[in-house]
Structure 1
C-alpha cells in the first residue's frame, strides 16, 4: 500500500450527552479530505482510541470508510489485549478499512517471539502498521523479524530515538527491501521532520492537519521556514504544558474551526481557556504565514 503526503488523524467528536457524534465526525473527516491527505487514521491516538467502547470504535471506523469513499486509504486503531485487538480488527475489516495501526499490548510485556505471535494473529485480518511507543519498542533486529510477518507493512515511530529508527530503517532495507513503510508519528511531527528526512523517512502524521489542514498542507509543499519557528515550535511548547494536550489541543482546534466536537474523555482533560485563546492566535498567525488567512 502506497501511503504518501500528510497522514490525517481525525479526532472523535462526542455529543453533549457523551455519545459518539457520527454526523460531526463525517463532516470533520470530509473537511480534511478536501486537502488530499495520504491516509485517514480513525479511532487512533488523536481519536481517543483508549476511551472508545467496542461499538463506538466500530462506528467510528465505519463513518471514516463511508466518508472517504476511496479518496484516501482508511486505517483503524487496534491494540491492547489480544481479544480486544482481534475484535477491533474484525470490525474494521467488516467496515471496509484498508488496514490497522496496531497499538502496543498495554500493561504486559512478553518475549520477542510472543510479540511476533501477537502481531501475526492481528495481521491475518488486515494489513498492519506497527506503532512504536510504550511497551512496543523493538530492536532493529526485531523490526526486521516483524517486517517479515505477512501483512505487516510499516512502522510509525512515536519514540523519537533517531539512532534507533535509523538502524531499524537500514536493517529493514537490507533484509526486507523498500516495500516496508516508515513514518514519523511524533506529536507535531513537522518540528522533527528535518531529522527524519536526514535518515530517509519522508512520511509523517500531522496533528495540525486535523484542525488547520491549510497550514499543514502549506508546510508540506515547502512553506516558509517561519511556519516552523512561529507556528509549530510555539504549538509544541503549548502542547507540552499539560499531559494529554497532544489530544486536547487538537480537539480544541477543531472546535475553534466551528465544529461542536464535544469534550475529551477522562483521564484526559480539556484545554484551559487561556491555552485555547493562545491556540486561536497561533492558528490565525499560521494561516497568515501560509497565505490562507
Structure 2
C-alpha cells in the first residue's frame, strides 16, 4: 500500500456549498477546491468534518468527491470521509474509490461506543470494502488506545492516524508504538483550529495538521504555515494573538461554529456557499460582523 503523497503545505478541508434549493452546488465547490489547490494546499479532504459529512446523503457524498477529484486534477491527493453506520461507511468507501479518491479518512462510528477490539474491527470492515489507503481519526467514540494503534499498524491499508483528542502524551506513545511496529505512519494534528497547538505536536513528531482556516482564508493559513516552517516564532505569535485566538473565542460561543464560521467567512468574501445544514446553525449578523473584523485584523498583519 503506497503512502499518500501530500506536498508541502496546509491540508485543505473544503466546505460543501449548498444552493438556494439546498442542493450540493458542484460549480461553487469546484471553484472553492481549485482555488484552494492554487493557493498551496498540500491535499484536499473532501466531505469530511468541515464538509458536513454528517449531513450528506450517499448520492451527495459521491457528487462532492467526484467534484473534488476533478477540481484537484491530480495536483494533490484527494481524501474522502467514510464513517458513521458501518453499512454507510462501506458504501462511502466504495463510492469514493469509484470517484477516483486517493484515500479515506475513517470517521467515528455512529452514536454507539464499542471496545477497542470493535474499533479495530470497524476499520478492518471498511478496509475490506476498498483498496484505498486509510487514515483513522482518533476522536469522540473512536478514541484509540496504544495497543489499538499497534493493531491498526498491522493493517496494510492504514497509513495514518489523525488526532482529535488532544492528549499530547498519548499521541507521543502512538508515534512510538507505530515506529516499534516498523510502520512509518502519517500522524496528523486534527484538533479544532490546529494552529494553536501545532508547536506542541511538531515537538513529538507530528508535523502535519489540518486547517479549517485555510478553507476561508488561505492567505492567513499559508502565512502561519510559512512562519511555522521557518521557525519564525514572532510571526506565529502575532498571528496567534491577533487572529487565531480571537477566532477561537468566537468559535467557542456556539457548538458547531468550527464549520459555521468557515462558511460565513466564505460568504463574507463573496463565495456563495450557502448555509450550514441542521443541526448546525449559522452565526448571527452580529457574530458575522465580528468575524469580518477578525479577518481584517489578521490580514492587516500580512
Q: TM-score, normalised by structure 2?
A: 0.93
Partner Cα separation in structure 2 for residue 147 and residue 69 of structure 1: 30
Q: In structure 2, the residue corresponding to 1:237 is in which secondary structure?
A: helix
Q: CA RMSD in A?
A: 1.1
Q: Are the counterparts in 1 of residues 136 and 162 from structure 2 also a CA contact under 8 Å? A: yes
Report what 1:145 is aligned to. 151
- Specify which of 272, 284, 291 is matched with residue 260 of structure 1: 272
Report what 1:168 is aligned to. 174
Do structure 1's residue 48 and structure 2's residue 52 form an aligned pair? yes
Partner Cα separation in structure 2 for residue 208 and residue 107 of structure 1: 28
- Specify which of 57, 62, 66 is matched with residue 58 of structure 1: 62
Question: Which consecutive unaligned segments of at least 5 residues does structure 2 have?
Answer: none
Q: How far did residue 108 of structure 1 move? A: 1.9
Do structure 1's residue 204 and structure 2's residue 209 form an aligned pair? yes
Q: Which moved more, 1:108-117 or 1:52-61?
A: 108-117
- Specify which of 2, 22, 37 is matched with residue 5 of structure 2: 2
Partner Cα separation in structure 1 for residue 199 and residue 216 of structure 2: 23
Q: In structure 2, the residue corresponding to 1:14 is in which secondary structure?
A: coil
Q: In structure 1, the residue corresponding to 2:92 is in which secondary structure?
A: helix
Partner Cα separation in structure 2 for residue 167 and residue 31 of structure 1: 37
Report what 1:136 is aligned to. 142
- Specify which of 222, 242, 249 is matched with residue 237 of structure 1: 249
Question: Which consecutive unaligned segments of at least 5 residues does structure 1 have?
Answer: none
Do structure 1's residue 283 and structure 2's residue 286 form an aligned pair? no
Q: How far did residue 114 of structure 1 move? A: 2.5
Partner Cα separation in structure 2 for residue 111 and residue 185 of structure 1: 23
Q: Are the counterparts in 2 of residues 144 and 176 from structure 1 also a CA contact under 8 Å? A: no
Q: Are the counterparts in 2 of residues 248 and 271 from structure 1 also a CA contact under 8 Å? A: yes
Q: How far did residue 228 of structure 1 move? A: 1.1
Q: How far did residue 105 of structure 1 move? A: 0.9
Q: Are the counterparts in 1 of residues 109 and 141 from structure 2 also a CA contact under 8 Å? A: yes
Partner Cα separation in structure 2 for residue 264 and residue 22 of structure 1: 16
Q: Are the counterparts in 1 of residues 117 and 148 from structure 2 also a CA contact under 8 Å? A: no
Structure 1: 4+ residue segments shifted above 6 A: none
Partner Cα separation in structure 1 for residue 182 and residue 285 of structure 2: 49
Report what 2:98 is aligned to. 94
Q: TM-score, normalised by structure 1?
A: 0.96
Residues 85-135 of structure 1: CA deviation (Å, up to 9, x unaligned): 011010000000000011111222333232222211212312110111111
